[in-house]
Amino acid sequence: MTTEEDELRRVARQLNLITAAQQERLHEARVLVIGAGGLGCPLMQSLTAVGVGHIRLLDDDTVDLTNIHRQVLFGAGDVGRPKVEVAAERLAALQPGIVVDADQNRLTTGNALAECGAADLVIDGSDTFATKYLSADACEATGTPLVWGTVLRFAGQAALWHSGPGSAAGRGVGLRDFFPEQPDAASAPDCATAGVLGATTAVVGNLMATEAVKYLTGLTRPDGEPASTPGRVLNYDALAGTVRALTVRADTAREPVTGVRDFYGAACAASIDDVALDPGRAEARRLLDEVRAGEAVAVDVREPHEVLVEDLDCESVKLPLSRLNPDALAEAVGTAEKVVVYCASGVRSGMVADNVELDGVEIVSLPGGTAAQR
């Protein structure tokens, strides 16, 4: 067990910047972190080091070798272990006095209001539109401040949102003032498809941690204004080496969020029959059953490095889109009368299905790509 004197010595350099009372606020804070991934790992590392006393962590995944280049709390020896379990161990090693409530579960429509409402601050380190909009809606409905971040390729964004009960003028600024509607999952590539620089996630994760510290301590700028500003979005570009800021204003014509919706997407629908609510997922499962039964041939149009990350649990022909043409496809599938092409999300395979024709062969795209079998 750490003593109070040990803890004060540990953060002694920080006490040159914040008061003892502000440090106590960090120690007493109850922070909900959604996701122990590329953003969640570095931000939790920093929050723990800075002295946040209680972290509740939600993540239902296990450590994979492909995670480690950006998820800095994990090592090669942790592969296969629950992320929340490993994260709790690493954080306790940094700050023995911390309480980490590690729950191998995801945020769902059934638990979001209770989880967000019980926290002093919610930090969303998730990687799906579905979870980000669910957490944003739950935070607005409960009036809980939310630190939000995204990262892809060489860039990312971080912001603090606070809307709903208890926010400025009872209205505040929320995610839906910036992006009013949840995009379709296929409208943007995921990290497996587009790639992500591990160091970029560390930068954005620590920008998020900084926003959390400013909010929890109530830090002010030299002019006396609050350092923490809801609606101020930081845009980080690693290649240009720049951080630019823009300010989002509340849309007074927008109807305030007072609860969560019935469905945000398969990633948040643990308590809902996702097949009934998502016809595309049901179609994907039907097509995969045909492939496994030998009634169709699966053709993977992803690039070789993507296959290392995730693949279908059935036999498939590997024919990257960069080398695909009608002759190459005809040679690859032989005498098959039906071909199911797939990629990571269904976007590239959809292009193939729409634009490539073979005599006597039905070519269809797997809705949702490799994620369809999760």
What span, in angstroms and rounded, lies between the C-alpha atoms of 346 and 36? 26
Catalytic residue among 116, 139, 268, 343: 343
**268 assigned to active site:** no
What span, in angstroms and rounded, lies between the C-alpha atoms of 370 and 374? 8
What span, in angstroms and rounded, lies between the C-alpha atoms of 176 and 173? 8
What span, in angstroms and rounded, lies between the C-alpha atoms of 120 and 123? 10
What span, in angstroms and rounded, lies between the C-alpha atoms of 154 and 237? 6
270 neighbors 134 (Cβ within 8 angstroms): no
**343 assigned to active site:** yes
Residue 98 CA to chain centroid, in angstroms?
A: 24
What span, in angstroms and rounded, lies between the C-alpha atoms of 29 and 252? 31
User: In terms of Cα–Cα distance, which of 87, 89, 82 is closest to 104?
Assistant: 82
Per-residue tokens: 156: 């990312």
161 neighbors 146 (Cβ within 8 angstroms): yes
Q: Beta strand pairing status for 30-34 and 54-58? A: parallel
Catalytic residue among 41, 139, 191, 268: 191
Per-residue tokens: 43: 């931000």
DSSP per-residue codes, 137-182: HHHHHHT--EEEEEEEBTEEEEEEEEESTTSGGGTEE-HHHHS-SP
Q: Which residues are catalytic?
A: 191, 343
